[in-house]
Amino acid sequence: MSDPLLSVKNLQVFFHLAQGTLKAIDGVSLDVKKGQIVGLVGESGGGKSMIGLSILRLVPEGGKIASGKIIFEGKNLLNLSEDEIRIIRGSYISMILQDPLTSLNPAFRIGPQMIDVLRLHKGYDKKEAELIAIEMLHNIGIPDPKKNIRKFPHQLSGGMRQRVVIAIAFSCSPKLIIADEPTTALDVTIQAQILQLLKNLSTEYQTSVLFITHDLGIVANLCDSVAVIYAGEIVETAQTSELFLNPKHPYTKALFQSILRHDKKQEHFYSIEGVMGSHIDWPDKCKFYPRCSEKLDGCEKTGSVEFVSYSPDHLVRCLKYE
């Protein structure tokens, strides 16, 4: 099999706080193959967004990538100079964030915001860039693009704004898109529109997508493979159908049990005991065991738990399977 497009290896991102060291990302490994949509799921505070930011070396102030490798098309992004990584951002890897209102500049019309990106990364002149921007808006289903390109972000609806952000992300035909909860702020009917659009564009442009979400429904219907993250660690990764039909890690199982479905009436609502809490200065051991319903005697004592391959492509990080 060919090399993956993006390969994150043993990534660690630490925040040195007054209270101690917070391992926001603790040994995350992840592969995204060409043309694939990979889901990254977990609850809030689990470090999902931090992985997305780390890939582009955009870790917020106070945080540091402590170790690991991020191999993109054979190059380790962590070894690139600041100038080199700027070329990667936008042209090769671009990002779609949750709230389109904060990703777009409210003081500029959407036209210039799209055109600037094309001019910077692709070197088009203004006229060319404008034509491409209009075509792009047309492709993503914005009616009357010639008129709408002259609007300010606040004059568009939430769904339209997110379409513009997606257009900007795809405009330089990047190899990889990191989509961080791109539909969470939208209504379900609009979400359905946007998800279909993303799926179509990713097929059309052969773009890989790292889709960060908390919604397992989206994962089931959009992603080819999934990684489940808990407190900065990936606890399980597999092909989507394999993970849904055969979840192994107690956290994954608990997550599945706690989702409510509109197509089924449930008599009991299952919830995971306790809260994730913060893991400042957490020793090297499973982070989920205090909430785990299947914990073994060894969980508290054993050091860090390594990934076990349950079957090819299905990795679990749990003492039960060691």
Partner 1 sequence: MNERKRVFKLNDYLLKTYKLTKYYSEEKRISFFSLGPGKSLVRAVDNINLFVHRNEVLGLVGESGCGKSTLGKTIIRLEEPTSGKIFFEDQDITNLSQERLKSHRKKMQIIFQDPASSLNPRKTVFEIISQPLKVHGMVSNKSDTSDRVADLLKKVGLEKSHMERYPHQFSGGQKQRICIARAIALEPIFLVADEVVSALDVSIQAQILNLLVILKNDLNLSILFISHDLSVVRQISDRVAVMYLGKIVEVAPSENLFSSPLHPYTQALMSAIPVPDVEIGWNPIILQGDTPSPSQRPQGCFFHPRCSKMIDICDKEDISLNAVSQGHFVACHLYSGRSTLKKIIQAQRTWL
271 lines the binding site for partner 1 (CB under 8 A): yes
215 lines the binding site for partner 1 (CB under 8 A): yes
Q: Is 245 exposed, middle or buried (0-12, 13-18, 19+ CB in 10 A)?
A: exposed
Residues 273-302 binding partner 1 (CB under 8 A) are 275
For residue 80, how many other CB atoms are within 10 A of its CB? Answer: 16
218 lines the binding site for partner 1 (CB under 8 A): yes
Token output for 55: 């890939």
192 lines the binding site for partner 1 (CB under 8 A): yes
Question: Which one, 127 or 262, has the nearer CB to partner 1?
Answer: 262
CB of 95 closer than 8 Å to CB of 178: yes
256 lines the binding site for partner 1 (CB under 8 A): yes
Q: How far apart are CA 315 and CA 322, in angstroms?
A: 11
Q: How far apart are CA 35 and CA 202, in angstroms?
A: 7
262 lines the binding site for partner 1 (CB under 8 A): yes
270 lines the binding site for partner 1 (CB under 8 A): yes
Q: Which residue has the tokens 């997550």?
A: 255
266 lines the binding site for partner 1 (CB under 8 A): yes
147 lines the binding site for partner 1 (CB under 8 A): no
220 lines the binding site for partner 1 (CB under 8 A): yes
Span from 125-133, 174-182, 262-270, 306-314 in contact with partner 1 (CB under 8 A): 262-270
Q: Which residue has the tokens 């709230």?
A: 99
* Least spacing, CB of residue 180 vs partner 1, in Å: 17
152 lines the binding site for partner 1 (CB under 8 A): no
CB of 214 closer than 8 Å to CB of 181: yes
Span from 76-84, 92-100, 215-223, 292-300 in contact with partner 1 (CB under 8 A): 215-223
Angle formed at CA 123 by CA 121 and CA 125, multiple of 5 degrees: 130
Q: How far apart are CA 253 and CA 127, in angstroms?
A: 54
CB of 202 closer than 8 Å to CB of 5: no
214 lines the binding site for partner 1 (CB under 8 A): yes
Token output for 292: 């785990």
| Rg of the chain over all Cα atoms, to the nearest angstrom | 21
Question: Which one, 17 or 259, has the nearer CB to partner 1?
Answer: 259
Single out the residue of 47, 153, 159, 250 in contact with partner 1 (rule: CB under 8 A).
159
Applying CB under 8 A, the residues found at the interface with partner 1 are 43-44, 143, 157, 159-160, 187-193, 195-196, 214-222, 240-241, 244-245, 254-256, 258-263, 265-272, 275
